[in-house]
Amino acid sequence: MPMPDKLAAIRQEIDYNYADFKKLLAHKDFKKYYNGLSDEGKLVNPPKGYDKENPAVEILKNKHFIVLHKVSDKDLLSKDFPKYAASAFKAMYPFLLFLREAVK
């Protein structure tokens, strides 16, 4: 979970660039491995300073920005796992870049 100042910066970046962030989450390569953001620990109400009518409010309620991908034993033990893992990380990379830019 990011420190409060970093969390505020991430939320602001998502608010300002919601269309771009939404495209990242909807990209076919991203969706192949990840099912959106984890909802664990999500706020019930919008964070301070954000209106409940904000189109990005459900994402802004997150206190952390985590994506998960379950790997089967079969995939993990496959000789092709390095290629599989590289593809999963490559699909996540634009998401990570967005977050990195937000906290600069």
SS3 call for 14? helix
- Concatenating the DSSP letter of every residue in 60-92 gives HT-SS--------HHHHHSTTHHHHHHHHHHHH
10-29: per-residue pLDDT in tens? 999 999 999 999 999 999 99
28-67: per-residue pLDDT in tens? 999 999 999 999 989 999 999 999 999 999 999 999 999 9
pLDDT higher than threshold 90 for residue 1? no
